[in-house]
Homo-oligomer: A and B are copies of this chain.
């Protein structure tokens, strides 16, 4: 609870908007207009972790062993490192140089700053994986550059980001829609859907007891992602609420089409790069899982699902995404900032 001069507080509150609000370089957090942003900021910092918290000796032994891992297993890890190195960079740049610069309310900048910070931690965790296992990062990078289906996934997101990096008149409907599209694509299509193919593969290794240090870091990452998706979802809804002119039937159709494109690209990537069968999974189920998640994302922002009534074909993934249930894996190294209350709240735990 804060003590506020009522009249001034009301004026300050009225001047707060997602976009086109009072422009200030200063950080007037109070009075809070977007309480969800401050709550998410608190939740995110309660989830604080650092890569060095996770012991990697056993992973390193498995990595060197001929019997513990197959070449397929190693391929998946290299692919995960290569893809997420790029993806975390793209997301971090988009937050800091597009979205945070365009929004005007301080508490929105605050939570976006935390979001960007977590991309940093994820990039640093990939570095820790590389150094722990003795992987050549250029090998991961080269894979990444050469593969058409990955290049296309990246092009899909950067095309709604690059054009927004320079002065944008956000009083124009067209530009407001560009920003809304950016927030939808990054939050719901990319972090919300296209990250889940590789997450699924890596957690599948984890489930087999392979590379559980790597798997643990990806589980922490995934918990962070569920908050990132939520940040962008709330930002999107706030933007639409304050600017209802954005929300035309044609625009809704455009977003729905973008999600369909995201799914097509993700499935192409899975078929091309992820040896699903090699981990004992069914390709059909794996692809259905992507459809299932995508529909949850669409519904969460008020759009119709593409596959009404679709069910989750991989319920064990939901289990693994719920960190609370497997605290033993963390060997008592759960970080100081993971208060028990926040451990119980993985919003995405049914996905």
Chain A residues in contact with chain B, CB under 8 A?
1-5, 8-9, 12, 24-30, 41, 45, 48, 50, 85-86, 88-90, 92-93, 96-97, 100-101, 106, 109-110, 113-114, 116-117, 119-120, 123-124, 126-127, 130-131, 134-139, 141-142, 144, 154, 158, 166-167, 335-337
A29 adjacent to B167 (CB under 8 Å): no
Contact of A120 (CB < 8 Å), options: B12, B114, B337: B114
Copies of this chain, whole number: 2
Bound-state Cα–Cα, A7 to B233, Å: 44
Bound-state Cα–Cα, A125 to B158, Å: 35
A127 adjacent to B29 (CB under 8 Å): yes
A140: min CB distance to chain B, Å: 10
Complex: chain B residue closest to A135, CB-CB: B3
A47: min CB distance to chain B, Å: 12
A89 adjacent to B138 (CB under 8 Å): no
Q: Which residues of B contact A24 (CB under 8 A)?
A: 89
Bound-state Cα–Cα, A126 to B3, Å: 14
Q: Which residues of B contact A25 (CB under 8 A)?
A: 86, 89-90, 93, 154, 158
Complex: chain B residue closest to A90, CB-CB: B25
A57: min CB distance to chain B, Å: 16
A159: min CB distance to chain B, Å: 12
Contact (A45, B41) CB under 8 Å given A26-B85, A27-B88, A131-B1? no
Q: Which residues of B contact A9 (CB under 8 A)?
A: 138
Mostly, the A contact residues are helix
Bound-state Cα–Cα, A45 to B114, Å: 14
A350: min CB distance to chain B, Å: 30
**CB pairs A–B below 8 angstroms (27 shown):** A2-B130, A4-B137, A5-B138, A5-B139, A8-B138, A25-B90, A26-B85, A27-B86, A27-B92, A28-B141, A29-B85, A29-B123, A29-B124, A30-B130, A30-B137, A41-B124, A92-B109, A96-B101, A96-B113, A96-B116, A97-B100, A110-B120, A113-B120, A114-B117, A116-B117, A166-B166, A335-B336
Contact (A120, B117) CB under 8 Å given A2-B130, A93-B25, A137-B4? yes
A41: min CB distance to chain B, Å: 7
A136 adjacent to B86 (CB under 8 Å): no
Q: Which residues of B contact A106 (CB under 8 A)?
A: 89, 123
Q: Which residues of B contact A28 (CB under 8 A)?
A: 85, 89, 137, 141
Bound-state Cα–Cα, A80 to B138, Å: 48
Q: Which 9 A-B pairs have the closest CB atoms?
A: A27-B89, A336-B336, A117-B117, A26-B86, A8-B138, A113-B120, A26-B89, A30-B137, A27-B123
